[in-house]
Structure 1
């Protein structure tokens, strides 16, 4: 059935040595079975992707080896994401994984540098960046599209998302781009690399309400929208930062400037990101 459909099948696996998989991923059949699935689907012309997540600090080489095996099996896209530690799992799942891996995961992450992101703890972007850079180069050397699963690195991805890259494998696909990442990616084509709020007006976004899909505390009334759709009003509330950790400057390689446009929106600069992607 899938061979006759316009679909992308994405599988996932933790970035760990295979002997430890039964402990860390006890309800999976193992990575060789994942590779077999990719091989069979690819042979029938079904586009496949592999998400390697979580990547445990210290096991980055295993993740790259898994990527190589997946490329041989026929994947079209690879994505990578480091471990996030929910606070409530430190004494349960993370403790069990630490025993299996033979080191204290939380201690290792603290040594490398951690930050709080919502309810989770994760490595800092400085700690992640060297591997994200290697993973991107490795994917391209394998002839496979790259996706950065860690949110702050999504603009490093090939395509408009971190994981599926469906517009790269499905002809004529249309994609929602009126978000921070879409504005950042659009800025990379401009000589000044300026990330401007007005760019969102030129990108595809919902014209009708998205309120039903949002937490009720985040919904905006018509009076709060200033004539914008509720999605663009939602973006406007967060564009300058302060409402949440997210703004264009949340993403690696993008910097806030002192420039404010006529509508009161801060202008950001993606020059560092452009240099990184051209390396």
Structure 2
């Protein structure tokens, strides 16, 4: 008997910085076998868990109820606000089972009834087939294809079961020809393989892609056992040691390459994308302020119609600031916030405790993030925000939007990618 996926519609824990934190998943995991599977390494589950199926009928009833004005939860409030859904936030909505089950297709048709905005994230070309492209041609949708930045032979070994880049290109071109905005998300970028981005940018341009976003591979603490053998081999047999040797710093439960390594490559990709007429998003979280558009790294606010975005977060606040302007926590309280509780949408490590006043829970949660008491995403995490050393009337730190070295480099289009970088990377990966 098929098990229903209870948490197919929810809010993500990225509320501190995400303008589109509304998630809609057709399945609890996907059938692709990517060597870096984010769901498996980050959330503790993934392709090893038994497949569960979403119930589109539940969304249909919720949409009808919310549209009639009956609001029962914070999730309903987000929908009433017309904040876009992200389809594929936890698992690919177009893994092979979709050809039989068509849960994603049902979701698309339900959302089309309300011209409701949504973003699709996928590694599959199924989205470009006649049945799906026809449905999407009538949708208020934005399709984002994830493409690993590595040579194609390695890609086939890392992204097992996924279509080739030529198949993705064909699907993107078909959707684009039907007026569906399409994005390529360079994720993950494998260090030492950045030169492959140039070819992918050319393919994207020829396929009618409007936007590029880019994010480097993050290496979880358990990467040496949880990454696929192919990826482990590609990273010198010891991903954690390789990342540490490249100067990586630990962020939560994973290692991220230093900006001194990533910066020049990312800026070069940005410059090339814009030269080709595409917008660009820096998808590494600390660089979100430097992305085009006002909706995280996807720039979906530029490509979706009649949509609102969640602006009561640090990145959205900072994006509204000119250089030299200060950021006050009290400004978040002036943004739209749900009146009902958010606690049930957060995982067990993030839930608020001891707060009884439901409407206050949102501001209490955001305040703790601002103070660095919940995770790492305080204002200081983001490049381009600095402390002033001042406190507001409530004793809460005041920050300022400033010129970082990365911003200066980006603004002047100085890429600074040196042979030294490449030589160090090659030496470490082939040792």
Work out whether the TM-score is over 0.5. yes
Among 55, 66, 77, the residue aligned to 2:211: 77
Give the superposed CA RMSD. 2.4
Q: Deviations over 1:30-66 (max 9, x none)?
A: 1111111111110111111111111011111212321
1:151 and 1:91 mapped to 2: Cα distance? 25
Among 179, 192, 195, the residue aligned to 1:45: 179
1:115 and 1:163 mapped to 2: Cα distance? 22
1:85·1:94 contact (CA, 8 Å) conserved in 2?
no
- 1:202 is matched with which residue? 334
- 1:28 is matched with which residue? 162
Among 118, 138, 143, the residue aligned to 1:9: 143
| Paired positions, count | 276
- 2:314 is matched with which residue? 180
Q: Deviations over 1:175-200 (max 9, x none)?
A: 00111101211223xx6321211221
- 1:220 is matched with which residue? 352
- 1:63 is matched with which residue? 197
1:75·1:144 contact (CA, 8 Å) conserved in 2?
yes
1:187·1:193 contact (CA, 8 Å) conserved in 2?
yes
2:340 and 2:410 mapped to 1: Cα distance? 35
Q: Deviations over 1:85-143 (max 9, x none)?
A: 12223135254224247776544422321111222122123322222222222222221
Aligned pairs for 1:1-279 (under 5 A) are 1-93=135-227, 95-100=229-234, 105-188=239-322, 192-220=324-352, 223=355, 229-273=360-404, 275=408, 278-279=411-412
2:219 and 2:236 mapped to 1: Cα distance? 17
2:295·2:309 contact (CA, 8 Å) conserved in 1?
no
1:263 and 1:101 mapped to 2: Cα distance? 48
Shift of 1:82: 0.4
2:198 and 2:401 mapped to 1: Cα distance? 28
1:85·1:122 contact (CA, 8 Å) conserved in 2?
yes
Shift of 1:160: 2.9
1:244 and 1:20 mapped to 2: Cα distance? 34
2:392·2:398 contact (CA, 8 Å) conserved in 1?
yes
1:101 and 1:124 mapped to 2: Cα distance? 17
2:149·2:188 contact (CA, 8 Å) conserved in 1?
yes
2:183 and 2:268 mapped to 1: Cα distance? 19
Matched position secondary structure for 2:160? coil
1:53 and 1:175 mapped to 2: Cα distance? 23
Structure 2: which 5+ residue stretches go unaligned? 1-134, 413-431
The two structures have a TM-score, normalised by structure 2, of 0.59
1:275 and 1:167 mapped to 2: Cα distance? 25
1:8 and 1:102 mapped to 2: Cα distance? 37
Shift of 1:73: 0.8
Matched position secondary structure for 2:387? strand
1:103 and 1:72 mapped to 2: Cα distance? 36
2:356 and 2:318 mapped to 1: Cα distance? 25
The two structures have a TM-score, normalised by structure 1, of 0.89
2:341·2:359 contact (CA, 8 Å) conserved in 1?
no
Shift of 1:275: 5.0
- 2:77 is matched with which residue? none
Matched position secondary structure for 1:90? helix
